[in-house]
Structure 1
Amino acid sequence: MAVGPGTLPDFFPVAGVKLGIASAGIKKPGRKDVVVFELAPQSRVAGIFTRNQFCAAPVTLSRQHLAQGAPRFLLINTGNANAGTGKRGMVDANACCEALARHAGVSTTEILPFSTGVIGEPLPVQKIVDALPEALANTAENRWDEAARGIMTTDTRPKGASRQVNLGGHTVTISGISKGAGMIRPNMATMLGFIATDARIAPDALQMLASELGENSFNRITIDGDTSTNDACMLIASGQYSGPEITLDSPLLPELRVALQQVYLDLAHAIVRDGEGATKFVTIEVRGADGQQEALDVAYTVAHSPLVKTALFASDPNWGRILAAVGRAGVDGLDLDALEIHLGDVCLVRNGGRADDYSEARGQAVMNREEITITIDLKRGDTTETVWTCDFSHDYVTINAEYRT
């Protein structure tokens, strides 16, 4: 199950970024499960990674390599996370980088590895190494759709976004893919995201964009409240477009930020829409909060409530569950008589209890929709934050109970 059509866009190729796909048969024979990004010389890469202290070996190695220079290749495998694998995990991740570096004629430190899949099992290094020649032989700028499929795990459909914008008379292309359906809880959400543009962006501006855009998209989604060991979201700037370098004080930066933000949001929302067993796409907006953390505390308390999420699956307008979650979010001095809670355009709570004009029929009409917005106005300040989540269905339990079978 998933929410919405979920069709891939017609990807715009990004000059200076080629993608190759191969089958290593890590989990299933014949499955395309190895993806290679080949980046033009002088490309720049920035990103954000999981904050889980049990971060996977490829996360640690990617951080190290990213700090040492300009990456030329990204190597992604699915079916095995190479997490919880101790010192052997680092050795195995590095062995894959070394093999790709030999084939491509670059330094090992110019390879960024990424893995996703089951935790705690040794990485099948030889299978990945054997698949590298195939991946390198078929690299091309127009293989985004195949790459989107190649990074899937429990996803039911591939995820991608692409757009072109005019910046100062120069066309800028942005394309990206993401994967994720479960073990999604921001702090960087098991998800991977790869966004590329042909713009030329100064290193400090690129890292600023990667951090800011990731924080307001991938770090605002949650499926089940579990932060993965392997999360990463990378922003690539190949610098192949004909315009000037975009710096922190460039007049073109705000326009580029808006275009990139839409791609980031599209990819993040696609993960929620494909949440394991999801039947609802839910926007939770907290307004009138006294600061960002307060707004996020309320939003995530509602988003993570199993009672709220199962009511959403049942299309049951059991608004008391939302009220109870807001009440336990840890907001000191909450004025119950002032706050309001809305389900779509229907007011649920006003003056400390059920709104006088609320009716079960109106609440039911909203709950019957695939896409639902819950708005909580705390009326304490001027901060607004938005989080996106989904419901909990029977299929979520089944998928995760049978994950290794």
Structure 2
Amino acid sequence: MTDIRSSRIECLDGLRALAAIWVLVGHCLLLTGWRVPIVGEPDLGVDLFIMLSGFLMVFHYQLRQDKEPWQRPGTWLKFWTRRYFRIAPLFYVMLLLALALGPYLYGSRIIIDDFLSRSHQAPERYLDSGPKNIVAHLTFLFGLLPGFAYRTPLPDWSLGLEMQFYAAFPAIMLLVRRFDWIRSAGLVAAVGCIIVFALGRLSVHFPMPSFLALKMQIFLCGMLLAGVVHQSQPRPILYLALALLLAALPFGGDYGLGKLLVREALVAGFFALVLYRMLPGAAGRLARAIAVTLSNRFFHLMGELSFSIYLIHLLVLQPVAAFVISQYGHGLAAPLRFAIVVAIVLPTVTLLSWVTYNLIEVPGQKAGRFVVRRFGRKGGAPALESIKRSA
């Protein structure tokens, strides 16, 4: 059996980049009225992000488990601190900007919806700057509350979902330590299904799948893949079969046959790119070539900018699409309208993302590492004193 354990997975940067570009291009298609199958479904790009998140959390847990054992609550605190400082600084800045621009963005969206003969967006999504909405978002509790889960101009519903996953992650990993990956994933998925069923019976509806139970099965797909990577005797076919089954659960978004097949392809493709060393012959060589390509300098940079691209793009896209529509209307065919919007939005968002990454994300991550080091010193001081006394 080929050893697949590694501290680096080549394709991850590229997959993050592709997920961000997929979401951006998908929204460009939706807001310019050009229908393109698969690419025009940005929720599938979000599913790829979710799968990547599940993979990365387990992968880094496995790399750190000797130095930071998860039986210690201090490890949980370090994990939550790192994730908070990875997400919160940029989100808070973009949240304040989005709320300030809310009326302008709402006007842009009305132009788009009228042109495409669609129902108007709920005005509170753009115009609610009240303290309840702000507090719900600053505390990341909005994803738990149907009335606040989709109430800003940002695509931030997935951030509330992500924070819920981080909150549950230590407990899930302790469950895996107690049992094994297959039984633990099955149990977590079963609990999620029960919760979703209960929500339906209680007529609780989330406007977007911002509640963890609605997307836990997609997180588990990535987690199962990472569970294979560091095993001495991996069982990839069994893990892949369970992941494919989980991805087919019919909740957490639109689940027609086409989207089901794409989600299954995402799971299978993700497995192939990460585990290409285990694939035979030409299949392994092809998967390796793709994985290596996805690790080149361009994809590495775009992967680093992916979070900024995801958060920023709608703030730029909606005014640009509204401007192109108001200036040219039906004088442009939908493909040309889309091409003009993408030609403006993609480089603009990429440049803004590079700025925010360097000015906000990188300092935020450094602040998180500083806080973790401080926790580590404080946590280690009593033990050190005890050693000195015993000596």
* TM beyond 0.5: no
Q: Which has the higher helix share?
A: 2
Q: Which has the higher contact order (CA 8 A, sep 6+)?
A: 2
TM-score norm. by structure 1 comes to: 0.25
